[in-house]
Amino acid sequence: MAAITSLECSRCHHAVAPDTAQMRCPLCSGRLFVRYDLDPLQRTTQHDDIAASPRIPDQSAVGVWRYASLLPTSIHGTAITPVSLGEGNTPMRRSRRYPGLHLKQEDTNPAGTVHARGLSVAVSLAKHNGTQHLAHAAAEDIAVALAAYAAAAGLAAHLVLPQNVPFAHYLEANVYSADITLVDGSAVDCTRILSQRLQSQQQANAPSDQLWIDLAADDNPFYLEGLKTLGYELVEQLGWTYPAAILYPSSNDPETMLLALAKSFDELEALGWVSGTRPQLYAVATAEEPVSAATTSPLHAHNQSASQTMAVTAAEALASTLDWGRNEGIVLSPMAAAAAAAYATLLANGQLLPADTVVLVNPAAALKYTDITAEAMHLHRPGRPAVKLPTSLPVGGIITPV
């Protein structure tokens, strides 16, 4: 079992006590990493043992928590009870057309999202620390998964979402009994409204068990701990070797997945559990404005992980969606379709070869984004039969927005 030694600043290496509610370094606002004493693990445990045995005596906890010896499972000698819905342990399926391409199917996670990995760990720690009310703004996949894990933990979830949130997310969050505030505005507006709410709670000296805790995934060191298991798992599924490249959708937060993967690689290398050279990382986003799919720019270099951001257009992503549906029998989420378009570009310009081992991360369930895919088909296939668009959210009388 992994006892946390400290939270360490990723920039200035300042150490913070692990049982504070601190989300950023108090000295430089850098992101915090959970640090463990890996030496005992190095001496006594082989990675095959990790892979073979669930470490938590609960049948549902066999995914992310298989790596419990590399996750926070105790603080100051007190065991942390995992809040698990069976996240992780997702399939990795080979492409029918490209011999080296593997699709990591994170859409099979609880709540249909890769964020389930991070939230299982983050919500476990929040519950352990006595938090009763969890909150999140803007990002729909994280928000819905937060609602699922809050429900599993017996905690309240408060979500502030833009009014144009995909309908499936809105419906699912309601089913989890989340308290939802819909905002006629942007993601930035949602984040601002949530911060104002948190500030007013502080100013009113609300009792600590009534305070909402913003489980902002891009600040939360424990969220990063759960997310990093994606790195362990894809290396494990490739026989404890690195792929040549990983393409992952970045949307509005390209840094978090980069840090999570880099941390998993740091730890696997420290333990001597992985061979090969570190993969090239590509963070792929869909741009609103037309850009060339070949456009790349360097992301923060982190240790030996080379990484680049790539942008593809919505039309290019839609072409990939239709291509994968027709030729692979797989519906990709819009984000994974963007990554698939980037893969095609990297093949075309020779940066990748079809035989190179490449992992393409599908982060989310495609069927939760049907309204977005339908809209893209309406916009980008002029002259083709229109796909019927939802004209309103049929929620009146059934579900009342708060």
Site string for Zn ion, 39-78 (x = CB under 5 A): ----------------------------------------
Here the tokens at position 253 are 């937060």
Query: What is the number of other CB atoms lying within 10 angstroms of the CB of residue 10?
Result: 17
Q: Which of 15, 17, 21, 27 binds Zn ion (CB under 5 A)?
A: 27
Q: Of the ranges 2-10, 74-82, 265-273, 314-322, which one interacts with Zn ion (CB under 5 A)? A: 2-10
Can you tell me the distance from the alpha carbon of 328 to that of 276, in angstroms, rounded to the nearest whole number?
29
CB of 8 to Zn ion, least distance (A): 9
Q: Which of 2, 4, 7, 9 binds Zn ion (CB under 5 A)?
A: 9
Judged by beta carbon, residue 8 or residue 141, the one nearer Zn ion is 8
Check residue 15 for interaction with Zn ion (CB under 5 A). no
Q: Which three-class secondary structure state does DSSP give residue 291?
A: coil
Judged by beta carbon, residue 12 or residue 79, the one nearer Zn ion is 12
Judged by beta carbon, residue 14 or residue 192, the one nearer Zn ion is 14
Check residue 25 for interaction with Zn ion (CB under 5 A). yes
Give the binding-site size for Zn ion (rule: CB under 5 A): 8
Q: Of the ranges 12-20, 32-40, 263-271, 305-313, which one interacts with Zn ion (CB under 5 A)? A: 12-20
Check residue 402 for interaction with Zn ion (CB under 5 A). no
Query: What is the number of other CB atoms lying within 10 angstroms of the CB of residue 277?
Result: 10
Cα distances (angstroms) measured from residue 239 to each of 24, 242, 274, 358? 35, 9, 9, 14
> Which residue in 337, 273, 335 sits closest to 49, CA to CA?
273
The answer to whether 311 and 291 are in contact (CB under 8 A) is yes
350: left (phi over 0), alpha (psi -120 to 50) or beta: left
CB of 23 to Zn ion, least distance (A): 12
Half-sphere exposure of 276 (CA within 13 A, CB side): 17
CB of 26 to Zn ion, least distance (A): 8
104 phi, psi to nearest 5 deg: -85, 115
Q: Of the ranges 3-11, 191-199, 270-278, 383-391, which one interacts with Zn ion (CB under 5 A)? A: 3-11
The answer to whether 394 and 355 are in contact (CB under 8 A) is no
Can you tell me the distance from the alpha carbon of 43 to that of 31, in angstroms, rounded to the nearest whole number?
29
Here the tokens at position 359 are 């992992």
CB of 27 to Zn ion, least distance (A): 5
CB of 6 to Zn ion, least distance (A): 12
Judged by beta carbon, residue 30 or residue 100, the one nearer Zn ion is 30
Judged by beta carbon, residue 266 or residue 356, the one nearer Zn ion is 266
Judged by beta carbon, residue 10 or residue 60, the one nearer Zn ion is 10
Q: Which residue is listed with tokens 């799919």?
A: 293
Judged by beta carbon, residue 30 or residue 162, the one nearer Zn ion is 30
Check residue 24 for interaction with Zn ion (CB under 5 A). no
Q: Of the ranges 6-14, 245-253, 301-309, 387-395, which one interacts with Zn ion (CB under 5 A)? A: 6-14
Cα distances (angstroms) measured from residue 367 to each of 4, 326, 340, 371, 388? 38, 16, 17, 9, 15
Check residue 395 for interaction with Zn ion (CB under 5 A). no
Q: Which of 17, 28, 79, 353 binds Zn ion (CB under 5 A)?
A: 28
Can you tell me the distance from the alpha carbon of 138 to that of 169, in angstroms, rounded to the nearest whole number?
12
Judged by beta carbon, residue 13 or residue 96, the one nearer Zn ion is 13
Q: How far apart are the first and last CA of the chain?
A: 42
Q: Which residue is listed with tokens 């030996």?
A: 304
Q: Which three-class secondary structure state does DSSP give residue 94?
A: strand
Can you tell me the distance from the alpha carbon of 261 to that of 149, in angstroms, rounded to the nearest whole number?
23
Q: Which of 6, 14, 22, 370 binds Zn ion (CB under 5 A)?
A: 14
Check residue 12 for interaction with Zn ion (CB under 5 A). yes
Q: Of the ranges 11-19, 157-165, 187-195, 387-395, which one interacts with Zn ion (CB under 5 A)? A: 11-19
Residues that bind Zn ion (CB under 5 A): 9, 11-12, 14, 25, 27-28, 30
